[in-house]
Chains A and B, each alone.
Chain A
Amino acid sequence: MSTQKPILQMTKIHKRFPGVKALSDVNLRLFPGEVHALMGENGAGKSTLIKVLTGVYSIDEGRVEMEGMPITLHSPLESQAAGISTVYQEVNLCPNLTVAENIFIGREPRRFGRILWKEMNRRAAELLSERMNLQIDVTRPLHTYSVAVQQLVAIARALNISAKVLILDEPTSSLDQKEVEQLFRIMRKLKQDGLSILFVTHFLDQMYEISDRVTILRGGEFVGEYMAEELTRLELVMKMIGKELHLLEELPSLAEADQHTLGGEWIRAEGLGRKGGIEPFDLAIRQGEVVGLAGLLGSGRTETARLFFGADKPDSGRLTLPESAGTVRSPREAIRRRIAFCSENRKTEGIIGDLTVRENIILVLQAKYGAFKAISRKRQEEIAGEYIRMLNINPPNPDHLIKNLSGGNQQKVLLARWLLTEPQLLILDEPTRGIDIGAKAEIQKLVLSLSRQGMSFLFISSELEEVLRVSDRIAVLRDRRKVKEVTGKDMSQQHIMQSIAGG
């Protein structure tokens, strides 16, 4: 492989934004027929590098060569013409068009200017079944399929454009294990066909499973390029975070977690359910208790959380708060009853992008107060400053627009927003998704320490280890049904895995 010439070579790439050095002196080489992982913490510059490759941003300095020829990437079209195709983390296809239309949009098979619909549908179905092992009705609108299928359709579309380099930006973050395996089979096949794949991921396991080579970035700088098999996990993590990995080990173990005493039952769901979301279930949460929800993607975890917050109306059962003899019918009511919900969809259900960090932090508290009891500017600044310090929000400027922060820092702002309302129950849906290891450990620590002070949690994560680490009790969901509750010594990875798998 060393004798081979790279198909794509980026040398000494620099990219600056006002006040920020997003990339400085970054190199990247992609060889034909390899899967190349791009790894780094939040703010490492992965997204920026990809946007440079796809022509969204133009570089300030540096060279990009494709098969030895210098190329310029000033627009997404130029990038596509050079043979670079991208599938983004958030699938950006047209949900209202059919699967086939999405694959062929702009390149529909035509005769005399007329689109050959039958031909197009046949070819789309063929493409999906042959290259993706996916047998679906290609004439149905894309939005009727799950995110996983949409992702595969997006890849099929990218492949249909004659691509030499395929960029997959965190393709696995919303896929379950089976879907990941399916994706990897497809990636291996594409690799054999000589395609060069740039694979961006947060999952170490997946990186090792599929990648040949890995490039690591940190804080916008190039750390190094390594052969995946020659790099140990510890080395990898240390290079990514640039320090010794002791943060996670500092967490109290489960034995210690058992020691703290729980309060009385605070909220109780009885036969609560919603069609197409989650089958009726019972679940009670005590004061100071951390209840974890384990299960695969689409097992009904988020749906359960939304019912607890009143974001969806249940078809059956009821939610009661024994102490106040109340219930929860809407997010507003939930907030009034001191329930908080950090949604997994940060962008669509969490942040208000055009507002500042300060405004985002005080929003819920202000909504609780109502429009006419405005929190004074001075008080707002105090609050924002306090939480920025407490949660280590970076950059520590309350007047930054939140949309310009990295994912992990946006997540911290949302946490601050909810903590400010002093909730009794904090529902965290994938609070650590897409954020770096350091921030992850900080959030886990926070959950543990707050629960010791009597706050209850409903903790959802697709990382089982994480759920195990923080939870006092775990409810296991499978196929939109609550199948089991485990506590104490039953809370082992194997046991829960079996429950999830249905063994």
Chain B
Amino acid sequence: MGRLVKHHLFWPLCVLAALLLFNLCYSPDFFTITMHDGHLYGSLIDILNFGSPLILVAIGMTLVVATKGIDLSVGSIVAISGAVACLSISKGPDQNSLVLILISVLLAVGLSLVLGLWNGLLVSVAGIQPIIATLILMVAGRGIAQLVTGGQIITVTSAKYAYIGSGSLATLPFSIFVVILVLLIALLTRRTALGLFIESVGCNPTASLMAGVRAKWVILSVYIFCGLCAGIAGLLLSSNVSSADGNNAGLWYELDAILAVVIGGTSLNGGRYYLTGTVIGALIIQTLTTTIYMIGVPPEITLVVKAFVVLAVCLIQSDSFRAAFAARWKTRHYPAEKEITRHVS
């Protein structure tokens, strides 16, 4: 039992289970999954589908956080990527041309890689603190996205593009497969030694350098990967609604992603990282959002409700909070004991 509680996934899974349980009690058909035209429908499927952009961004963020960094620009990259893809498609002669869509997707992904490289260069070569370095693109990126869309919402009418974010493969949403693919790529860090290097650089950069680890390359690569993840998330998001909104797409994603990483057990101090934890963290956030909409919390207080739940999640995960809580519990049981010792002394 003790080992179970110590496992890094224990508390995140508990929270997720509690959320799902609440939903089950509140709306018994929450777990119902139905089949229409070869597609599965249901709240759980929705959570996976709508949560996939956040999961992607959070996976990239995990590796950045593991190097003791942070990437605030992911929300902007989401917007830019979607905007570029949609612009390219909308300018094409035939919006359903597979070549056009491939070119547009590659363009968006390529641009996200470049943006990730930019962040990485600022952090690793120029030595700017990550929060500042990525703040630049967070602010400027919104502007770039608006520039690309011309301040308008670009809509596309391409069934093939829409497939990326809302189509389904083998009855499941296609986006889930995208997430699985990216997660597998991220998990490659565990198969190669990159994971070891990321953790060692995040934990002690000086010692890593002395041990011959190429810290600069490691840092550069995690920011590039994070940019890539955000770019793909931008494609999913814009394809799901068949439009690109430079102002609002991916807004505040960076914060949700950081939250997902932390809930998943990766410390902002860098070092050990947990990709599966991050996925669960992102699912918790998405489930929470869905739950709030489902139980019909008035829109003006949804953020407050979300804040309270997030606070609770963080407190449950905090070792010192649990210890303090346990201590209080004990003294409440034996209130007289403290008194006695005080008088004796």
Contact string against A for B residues 207-219, beta-carbon threshold 8 Å, 1 for contact and 0 otherwise: 1111111100000
Contact pattern, A 368-406, Cβ under 8 Å of B = 1, otherwise 0 = 111111110000000000000000000000000000000
Q: Is the CB of A363 within 8 A of B200?
A: yes
Whether A366 and B203, one on each chain, are in contact in the complex, defined by CB atoms closer than 8 angstroms, is no
B272 within 8 A of A: yes
Task: For the complex, give the distance between the alpha carbons of A355 and B204 in Å.
Answer: 10
Q: Is the CB of B203 within 8 A of A371?
A: no
Neighbour of A352 across the interface among B192, B204, B214, CB < 8 A: B204
With A367-B211, A368-B212: A353-B203 Cβ-Cβ less than 8 Å: yes
Residues of A within 8 A of B254 (CB): none
Interface set, chain B 174-206, CB cutoff 8 A to A: 191-194, 196-197, 199-200, 203-204, 206
For the complex, is A172 an interface residue (Cβ under 8 Å from B)? no
What are some 26 contacts across the A-B interface (CB < 8 A)? A348-B207, A349-B206, A351-B204, A352-B199, A352-B204, A352-B211, A354-B199, A355-B196, A359-B196, A359-B199, A359-B200, A363-B200, A363-B208, A366-B196, A366-B197, A367-B212, A367-B213, A368-B212, A369-B193, A370-B193, A372-B192, A372-B193, A373-B193, A374-B191, A374-B193, A375-B193
Q: Tell me if B34 counts as interface (CB < 8 A to partner A).
A: no
Residues of A within 8 A of B200 (CB): 352, 355, 359, 363
Residues of B within 8 A of A336 (CB): 212
Cβ–Cβ contact B211 & A417, under 8 A? yes
Chain A's nearest CB lies how many Å from the CB of B272?
6
Complex Cα distance, B332 from A97, in Å, reads: 44
Is B206's CB under 8 angstroms from A363's CB? Answer: no
* Residues of B participating in the A interface, judged by any CB pair closer than 8 Å: 191-194, 196-197, 199-200, 203-204, 206-214, 271-272, 345
When distances are taken between beta carbons in the complex, the residues of chain B under 8 Å from A353 are 203-204
Distance A349 CA – B213 CA, assembled complex (angstroms) = 12
Q: In whole Å, how far is B181's beta carbon from the nearest beta carbon of chain A? A: 20
Contacting A363 at CB < 8 Å: which of B211, B214, B345?
A: B211
Cα of A335 to Cα of B211 in the assembled complex, Å: 8
Query: Least Cβ distance of B273 to chain A in Å?
Result: 11
Of residues 307 through 325 on chain A, the ones whose CB sits less than 8 Å from some CB of chain B are: 309, 311
Contacts of A355 in B (CB 8 A): 196, 199-200, 203, 271
Known: A369-B193, A372-B192. A354 touches B203 (CB 8 A): yes
**Are B212 and A352 within 8 A (Cβ)?**
no
Q: Give complex CA distance A74, B192 in Å.
A: 45
Decide if A434 is an interface residue (CB 8 Å cutoff): no
9 tightest A-B contacts by CB?
Answer: A354-B271, A367-B212, A335-B212, A371-B194, A374-B193, A352-B200, A354-B203, A367-B213, A366-B193
A interface residues with partner B (beta carbon < 8 Å): 69-70, 309, 311, 331-332, 335-336, 341, 343, 348-355, 359, 362-364, 366-375, 417
Tell me, rounded to whole Å, the shortest Cβ–Cβ distance linking A275 to chain B. Answer: 21
What is the CB-to-nearest-CB distance from A221 to chain B, in angstroms, rounded to a whole number?
Answer: 27
**What's the nearest-Cβ distance from chain A to residue B159, in Å?**
40
Query: Within 8 Å CB of B208, what residues of A?
Result: 352, 363
Distance in angstroms between the alpha carbons of A335 and B212 in the assembled complex = 7
In the complex formed, the residue of A with least CB distance to B214 is A332
Does A348 lie within 8 Å of B194, measured CB to CB? no
Q: In the complex the two chains form, what is the Cα distance from A351 to B271 in whole Å?
A: 13
Minimum CB distance partner of A363 in chain B = B211
A364–B211 CB distance below 8 A: yes
B211 and A343 contact, CB distance less than 8 A: no
- Measured in the bound complex, the distance between the Cα atoms of B211 and A353 in whole Å is 14
The interface residues of chain A lying within 8 Å CB-to-CB of B209 are 331
A332 surroundings in chain B (CB, below 8 A):
212, 214
* A311, B197: Cα distance in complex, Å: 19
Closest Cβ–Cβ distance, residue A421 to chain B (whole Å): 9
Contact A350 B210 (CB under 8 A): yes
- Distance A362 CA – B214 CA, assembled complex (angstroms): 15
Using CB atoms, name the residue of chain A closest to B198. A371
CB atoms of B210 and A349 under 8 A apart: yes
CB-nearest residue of chain A relative to B200?
Answer: A352
Also in contact, A331 and B194, with CB within 8 A (given A352-B200, A354-B203):
no
A352 cross-chain contacts in B, Cβ below 8 A: 199-200, 203-204, 207-208, 211
Q: A70 contacts which chain B residues (CB < 8 A)?
A: 345
List B contacts of A348 (CB < 8 A). Answer: 204, 206-207
> Which B residues lie within 8 Å of A374 (CB)?
191-193
- Cα distance, A350 to B206, chains bound together (Å): 8
- With A351-B204, A353-B203, A353-B204 known as contacts, the answer to whether A371 contacts B210 (CB < 8 A) is no
Contacts of A311 in B (CB 8 A): 210
- Distance between B58 CB and nearest chain A CB, rounded to angstroms: 21
- Contact partners of B203 in chain A: CB under 8 A: 352-355
A371→B212 contact, CB < 8 A: no
A348 to B210, CA, bound (A): 10
Complex CA gap A475/B214 in Å reads 33
Question: B217 — nearest CB in chain A belongs to which residue?
Answer: A371
Closest-CB distance, A60 to chain B (whole angstroms): 15
Question: How far does the alpha carbon of A332 sit from the alpha carbon of B209 in the complex, in Å?
Answer: 8
Residues of B within 8 A of A368 (CB): 212
Residues of B within 8 A of A349 (CB): 206-207, 210
Question: Chain A's nearest CB lies how many Å from the CB of B162?
Answer: 37
Nearest chain A residue, comparing its CB with the CB of B345: A70
Chain A residues within an 8 Å CB radius of B212:
331-332, 335-336, 364, 367-368
Given contacts A70-B345, A351-B204, contact A371 B271 (CB under 8 A): no
For residue A372, which residue of chain B has the nearest CB? B192
Nearest chain-A residue to B221 (Cβ)?
Answer: A371
B210, A341: Cβ atoms closer than 8 Å: yes
Which residue, of B193, B197, B204, has the highest number of chain A Cβ atoms within 10 A? B193
Interface centre among B194, B207, B209, B211 (most CB of A within 10 A): B211
A362: chain B residues at CB < 8 Å are 196
| In the complex, chain A residues whose CB is within 8 Å of the CB of B211 | 331, 352, 363-364, 367, 417
In the bound assembly, the distance between CA atoms of A188 and B74 in angstroms comes to: 61
Complex Cα–Cα for A349 and B206 (A): 6
**In the bound complex, how far is the Cα of B131 from the Cα of A219, in angstroms?**
45
Q: How far is the CA of A375 from the CA of B211 in the complex (A)?
A: 16
**Known pairs A352-B207, A359-B196. 5 more at Cβ < 8 A?**
A70-B345, A336-B212, A350-B210, A367-B197, A371-B197
Cα distance, A251 to B148, chains bound together (Å) = 75
Chain A residues within an 8 Å CB radius of B210: 309, 311, 331, 341, 343, 349-350
CB distance from B199 to the nearest CB of A (A): 6
Q: Which residue of A lies closest to B270 (CB)?
A: A354
A309–B211 Cα gap in the complex (Å)?
A: 11
When C-beta atoms are compared, the residue in chain B nearest to A351 turns out to be: B207
A350, A363, A370, A372: residue with the most chain B Cβ atoms closer than 10 Å: A363
Nearest-CB residue, chain A, relative to B344: A70
